[in-house]
Structure 1
Amino acid sequence: MSVQVRRSGSRVLVMRLVDWDAEDSTAFEPVLDALDLLTPYVEVLEPGVVAVPLRRGAGDEAAFCEALIDTVSGLVDQDCLTGVADGLFAAVLAAYEGRIIPAGRDAAFLSRRDIRDLQATGLVDAETCETLRHLGISTLGAFRDLPGQAVAERFGAPVRRAQLLAAGQLARPLVPRPAAPELTVAETPETPYATVEQAVFAARPLAERLLALLDERNLACTRVTITARTGSGMERRRIWQLDPAIGAAELARRVRWQLEGWLSSSAASDQVDENAHAITVLELAPGGLIGLVVAGRGLWGDKGARDVKAEAALRHAQSRFGPDAVQIAAATDGRDLDERYGTAAWEVEHAPPPPSGPWPGALPDPLPSLIGTDDHVAVLDAAGAPVQALARGDLSAAPALIALGGKKVPVVAWAGPWPVSERWWSPAVRRYARLQVELADGRAALLVCEGGQWKAVGWYD
């Protein structure tokens, strides 16, 4: 029995071994060989879990699941569960329960799942799931209904991608697309790799070459095809799913798992010529290419190669010019706008400390998004007379118009004033008043009156 593969109109079957030792990568290879008897394409999600594409209408899905379970059990004596759904994420969760989700029902199935199932995406950790639960978001359906922009701003791009998965979106076909030749890296050793140790020694630099090549093009991959060619002319190939933010060490670990399975199974065979199974070419080809921003790298989450290079350059500058030579923006304590932001020495291990607490008399959040404009304005009442900030903390009249840039814009709402008296005990005494206004043209401004003159010191979005 076989399954034909197409790029569209397909469903996904996920098989999960019930009692599987994740550290025993060698024992997983016979399981994959057993699956090859049923389907021409298997994608490894992790040791013990694989995905298989199923064409819609190709036959009885339940019958195929039974055949797969019987084949694995009969050949390698392993119990497994299967799950079928339209998308990969729903199929992964269905495999925990051995369920077949009817076509078009992924969203309904996912909506009732517990919020902790987000961890199955590989994009969300347990702490984030608990945070969502404390916020009253206990199911994937409730998480799916949150505003996407708010999720991205609060938790970052990876969690936003997980939200799209929870909504049944971001589905990708399991059928691999061949990578461009220039993105494939290969190693051809002078002496073929006959042992696991020899092959594993080459895995790390090969993984580093691949990720460096992708980083140069601002790309990340969601799959990698590991190919090994042997002295006898045999070619073995396996596809692994990856976290787009994977590092070279973790990618090399995937390669090691695969090589251990191939070489160990070859060593256990009855072949007389051991060199026939030695690896003459080891190749890595990326698949499922996406941009670094889409992958959540460079802006959120794990560091990519470019982040590591940037940090190395900053460390080099610090070593040459001193630890205080490299400055970054930092939030600071203060009452006025220009006191709320400052700089701090950049350090990789220690981020600038946050403000210690609310500063007496400080502006409440949210702060203006545009500051430092110092636009001179005139605040006028309904009769067109100037409005003054009085010493006792009042205004001489209600503000009705703002004169700015030769135009008069009506004021639709205002708050304040808030008088400030700083360093009253010294010659450097400073007194001013702050006023917030909403204008008829949709803008909102923070105004300051000092020495009888009004200025717009910040503008709100």
Structure 2
Amino acid sequence: MSDAPVRTLLLWCPDWPVLAAEIVDGVPATGPVAVLHANRVVACSERARAEGVRRGLRKREAQGRCPQLTVVDYDPGRDARAFEPVVAAVEELVAGVEVVRPGACALTARGPSRYFGGEEAAAERIVEHVAQACVVESQVGIADGVFAAGLAARTGRIVPPGETPEFLAGLPVEALGRPALADLLRRLGVRSLGDFAALPAGDVLARFGFDGALAHRLAAGRDHRPLAVRQPPADLTVTAEYDEPIDRVDAAAFAARALAEQLHDRLAGHGLACTRLGIEAVTAHGQELHRVWRHDGLLTAAAIADRVRWQLDGWLTGSSRRGGGGPARPTSGIIRLRLVPDGVIAQAGLQAGLWGETGEERERAHRALSRVQGILGPEAVLTAVLGGGRSPADEVRLVPWGDERLPARPGPPPLPVARDTTAAGGGEVADGRAAGRRRGGGSASSGAAGAGRGGAAPPWPGRLPPPAPAVVLPSPLAATVHDADGEPVVVSARLAVSAAPARLTVGTAPPTEIVGWTGPWPVDERWWAPAEARRRARFQVSLADGAALLLAVEAGRWLVEAIYD
């Protein structure tokens, strides 16, 4: 590990999370704005600081100091996306840029200082170029090492070579960016980085561990690693402009084929393949159209051409085929077409699915469904995504074919499957389909149905144990449940079952004997909103004919909600 840090230039954009919210979401950064994470302020605007808002304040305290405060949720993805143009602007002048974090990037100072005639001249040139290209204010600090350069950038300072340890020595220990360590050091009487750097390295490692030893090196002006410069991303997009606007499907098919082959050749030249394709078009009247197509396999030149042709066909003839529904037909012909490989991977880096390599049958089905979407719109073909919820209907979300298959709500960890062998349950549940333990009380908030605890995902107390039903009825069927004496089975407010269920009648069908049952699983949802409140108890039952059903009793009425396979 080298003890000679590289002379480093670091560009820092103050209050970057606030600026990113303005760039991406349109939140004015000139007003009082605070970015919150875990209910605490992580960044705020200059106007908010003037009102007393500081980093680390809780939301309520920050709003108490500044009632006009605009609160924005912390989004690292948004910060990174907004910072990419700034990094690209720096790369227009110099090479070898490392993104330290959104809002700060570093590079070796030697190259630009020699090219622009000194470190100060290089810093001024980079700041001016970023301001002109991105309309973003920034500051530059130069010192020996990334850590010291980042602290120097806070005041726009250039630390002379060899004087970095002296520059760091006068800074407080809070500059390390480790609040817990800084608090401990202050209680031990160590208040500055110089005091911390003067401690023996072995004692620091023994007392504070490896992270403390790393902080000790930084305090002494010795970076723990060299710059990890990034390679500027290659421009893989292809664009075609047409003197004669494209307003016919045959002309669109010809344009799609030529542009698709150009994109495929460019990707192949970089050893890449496309899995997600963005299609952008501009009409003669300035109307902008955009659509993203996804694919499970690798998009060949023919596959790219097909999707572009389908999309252009949908845009050019869509309104006449839908009778006015769906996306509006362009008001004029297309004069510019652009293909953006939004998702790329190494050409040999795609893992085959359970079916093996992408087969002809799957490709034919994918082409057919994508064709339907190109004509009728993305919502014409939907697929189910499993997520979190307390009932089978709540756990399923329908998303358009090819879109990101993300659940609406995170699901809990898998639950163990148990069997009900109690005498009151009428025997063992057939094939474990109505698995679980029969409960006689409790509520959704008390962890009914054995809902999992811990982990990052919500436990969803009150949800049913696996396996999930095979069919969830769109409209529950009315039913009646009787005991062995022919009396209706009722569930009290305290979830006491009047008798063991013995017969089930669904609609006008003849009664069916219940050979196994388990429950109830109570759910009391949204009790704080009377108009939306819902209180019910669910049962799993196994019938003599081999069927297994999910029943629910609500307001004294029995309903069949789902069917097990």
TM bin (shorter chain): 0.3 to 0.5
Q: Which one has more relative contact order, counting CA pairs under 8 Å at least 6 apart?
A: 1
TM-score scaled by structure 1?
0.39
